[in-house]
Structure 1
C-alpha cells in the first residue's frame, strides 16, 4: 500500500493534479487582487491551458509550459497591473525543475520569472520604493526552483526504490519456487525410494512367504499415502488460504526422524538411528530442516550405495542440533557388463542436475547453520549443525 502511494505521488498526483490545483489557486489570487475584466479573464484562461491539459492526463512539453506558464503571466503583470500573476510563473518554474525534461526551457523560465519584477520596477521608475518586491519575488523564484529540484530528486528516488522492490519481489518468487521444488523433491524422492524397496521385497518373497509380501505391500501403500499428503501440503502453499479447504497437516519435525528411518529399515535398507537428547522440544524450522536432511541422505544412500549400511545420528545440544548420516561401502557384487560411459557420481546428492545437496545447503543457510557432505573412509558422510530457536511456528513442509 505504501509503494502504491509513492507511485501515485511520484507519477500522477505530483505532476497531474497538485500543480494544476496550485495554478488555479494562483489565478484566483489574481482575481482577488485585481479588477476583473474580460481581457484579464481571457488571458488567464490561456495561462491556465497547460495546467488544464496536465489535469486531464495529457502530455505537455516543457516549452509550452515555459511559454504559456511564464510569458502569459508576464503580460498579465504589465497590462493589468497584477503582480500576483508572478506566482503562476513561479509555478511553471517549479514544474519544469521537477520534471527535468528540458534544461534549456527550465533556464529560460527561471530567468524570465526573475526578470518580471525587475522589468516592472524599471517601467514604473519607483525603484527605491519597489525594490523590496524585486527581492521578495526573486527569492521566491529561487525557492520554487529549489523545491522543484527536490521534488525531482524524490521522484527519481521513488522510481529507484520501486524498481528495487520489483526486483526483490521477483527474487523472492524465484526463491519460493526453488524451495517448493526442493520440498517436492524430498517428499517424492524418499517416498518412491521406500515404496520401491518394499515392492522389490514383496516380489522376491511373494511365492515363498505371501504374508511377508503382503506386509511389504502394506508398508509401500502407507508410505505412498504419506508422501501424497506431503505433496498436497506443499502444493497447498500455492493456493489462497481462503481456498485451502481446511487446516494443513503439521510439518514433520525432528521427532519424526526415527519413524522415517524405521520405514526405510523395514523396506530393506540397512540403516539405524542414534538419538541423543529430547527431539520433541526442537523448534519447527530446525526440526523440519533436520528431517529433510535425513530424508534426502537416506534416499541417496539407496540410490548411490545400494545395500550399504548407514547410521543416522541426531544429537540435541543446548544451542544447536547436530545431524549426521554416514554410510559405508556397498557390498561387493559381480558387476554385469555394461556399455562404457561416463562414471556415475561417487557420493550421494551429486551435482549432476539434482537438487539434493543444493537443497540441504539452502535449508541450512536459511537457518544460519552449516552443512558438509563428502567421502569418509570407504563411505560417505553428511553432517549438519542447525542452530536452535527459542520458539517455533508451524509451517507446512
Structure 2
C-alpha cells in the first residue's frame, strides 16, 4: 500500500484549512447580512476573521490564541445582537481546533464553549429559540469531525513511518542477500583457484604439462567467477529477474576434485526434482562446506558429500578429516556458516556443524513440498 508523502499530507492539511476558512468567511458574510450591515457588527466579524486570514497567509498564531481570537467575537455578536448565523463561525473554529490540537484540555474547552454558545443569547435577553438545540448538536458534530480528521492525519503519519521502516528493512535484507551471494561466489572460486595454483607450484619443475593444465583450470575458474560477480552486481542495476543460479552438485564437487581435493558425492534420490529455492540453498551449503574443508582440512584428505532426497525432506552431510584448526563459523565479512544458518532457517531447515569423532561434519536438513520424488542412488568420485 502506498502511503502519502509528507508533502501530500501537508497539502491535505492546507486544503482543510482553506475549507475551514471559507466556511468561516461565508458565515461571517451571512451574519453581516442578517445584521443589515451594522458597522459595529461588521467590525466584530472582521476581528473574528483575523485569525483565519493569518491561517490563509501561513502566519498562524498558536492554537490556543487562534481559538480565543476566533471564538471571542462570535460570543460578543451572539450575546449582544443575538445573530445566530454567526455561530457557524464558531463551528468552523471549534472543528479546526479539534483537528489540530494535541492536548485534550484544549479540545474539551473548545467543545464546552461551542456547545454552550447557542444557549447564551437568552441569557442576554434575546428570545429563546428551538434552533439553539440544533446549533449545539451541530457544533458538537463539528468538533467530532475535527477529532476524526486529526486521528486520520495521525494514522497516515504512522503508516508513512511504518512504510519507511519496511522499505529500509527490505533494502537491508536485499543488501545482505547480495553480500551472501558475493561471499559464496568469491569464497568458492578463490578456494578452487588457490588449490590449482598450489598444485601447479608443486609440479612446476617436475611436470610442466600438469602445471599448465592446473593454471588453465585456475584461469577458467577466475573467468567464471568474474562472470558470476558481474551477474550479481548486475542485480543492483537491472530491474529484470536474474537467471537461475547454477545448482549442479556434481559439477560443484568435480570442480574441487579437479583442483586436487579428493571429493566424493553420494546422492540418494533425484536432487533435480527439488524446488529451485531448496536446490539453491542446498548448493550454497555444500559449496561453503567444501570451501571450509579445502581451507582447514589436511592437504590431500578426502571430503565426502552425502545427500539424501526423500518425499519429506533433504539431508546433506559433508565430512572431512578434522585438523588442528576448526573451520571459522564466519567467512570474510561474516557471511560463512552463520549466514548459511540464517538462509537455511529462512526456508524452514536446520544447519549444524562441529566435530564428530575424527571428522568435522556439516549437517543440513531442508524441507520440501509434499510430493513424489523419483528414487535413485549414485556415487560420484
TM bracket, shorter-chain basis: 0.7 to 0.9
SS at match of 2:69: helix
Would you say the 8 A contact 2:98–2:146 is kept in 1? Answer: yes
**CA deviation map 1:204-249 (0-9, x unaligned):** 222222221121112111111121122112212222428xxxx744
SS of the equivalent of 2:4 reads helix
5+ residue gaps, structure 2: 372-381
Residues 369-378 or 149-158, more deviating:
149-158
Match of 1:50 in 2: 51
The RMSD of aligned alpha carbons is 2.9
Change in 2 beyond 3 A, CA 1:179/1:58? farther
Q: Which residue of 2 aligns with 1:64?
A: 65
Match of 1:278 in 2: 270
Is 1:174 paired with 2:166?
Answer: no
**Partner-residue secondary structure (3-state), 1:2:** coil
Q: 1:134 is matched with which residue?
A: 132
**1:323 is matched with which residue?**
316
| Preserved CA contact (<8 Å) 1:73 1:88 | yes
Provide the rounded CA distance (Å) in 1 between the counterparts of 2:351 and 2:156.
40
Q: 2:120 and 2:38 mapped to 1: Cα distance?
A: 25
1:103-157 Cα deviation digits (max 9, x unpaired): 5544443333233211223334433xx1x32222222222222333333333333
Q: 1:94 to 1:10 in 2, by over 3 A?
A: farther
Does residue 83 (structure 1) correspond to residue 75 (structure 2)? The answer is: no
The aligned residue for residue 251 of structure 1 is 245
Tell me how far 1:294 sits from its aligned partner: 0.8
Residues 273-318 of structure 1, C-alpha deviations (whole Å, 9 max, x = no match): 0122222232222111111111111000011213332111222222
Q: Which residue of 2 aligns with 1:116?
A: 117
C-alpha deviation, 1:345, in angstroms: 5.2
Segment drifting more, 348-357 vs 379-388: 348-357
Q: Residue 379 in 1 paired to residue 380 in 2?
A: no
The alignment partner of 1:4 has SS state of coil
Query: Within 1, Cα distance between the matches of 2:38 and 2:229?
Result: 77
Aligned match of 1:369 in 329, 349, 373?
349
Q: Secondary structure at the match of 2:319?
A: strand
Q: Larger deviation: 77-86 or 200-209? A: 77-86
Evaluate the alpha carbon distance shift between residue 263 and residue 59 of structure 1 in structure 2; reply closer, same or farther with a 3 A threshold. Answer: farther
Q: Secondary structure at the match of 1:250?
A: coil
Cα contact 1:315–1:322 (8 A) shared by 2: yes
Task: Give 1:360's aligned residue.
Answer: 340
Single out whichever of 316-325 and 378-387 deviates more from structure 2: 316-325
Contact 2:67 2:110 in 1 (8 A): yes
| Partner of residue 98, structure 2 | 97
Partner SS for 1:306: coil
TM-score by length of 1: 0.82
Kept in 1, the 8 Å contact 2:330–2:338? The answer is: no
2:305 to 287, 301, 312: 312
Change over 3 Å in CA distance of 1:288–1:45 after alignment to 2: farther
1:200-215 paired onto structure 2 within 5 Å: 200-215=198-213
Cα shift readout 1:335-393 (whole Å, capped 9, x = no counterpart): xxxxxxxxx852453589742111111111221211111111111111112223599xx
How many residue pairs match? The answer is: 367
Unaligned runs of 5+ in 1: 331-343, 392-397
Q: TM-score, normalised by structure 2?
A: 0.85
1:161 aligns with 159
Report the Cα distance in structure 2 between the residues aligned to 1:105 and 1:349, rounded to whole angstroms: 60
8 Å contact from structure 2 (residues 78, 120) kept in 1: no
Query: How far apart are the structure 2 equivalents of 1:227 and 1:45?
Result: 78
CA gap of 1:101–1:10, structure 2 versus 1, over 3 A, is: same
Label 1:287 to 1:43 Cα distance change in 2 as closer, same or farther (>3 A).
farther
Q: Are the counterparts in 2 of residues 257 and 291 from structure 1 also a CA contact under 8 Å?
A: yes
Contact 2:197 2:214 in 1 (8 A): yes
Distance in 2, Cα, partners of 1:134 & 1:9 = 39
CA 375–90 in structure 1, closer or farther in 2 if over 3 Å, else same: same
Contact in 1 for aligned 2:200/2:211 (Cα 8 Å)? yes
Going from structure 1 to structure 2, the CA distance change for 1:48 and 1:314 (only over 3 Å counts) comes to farther
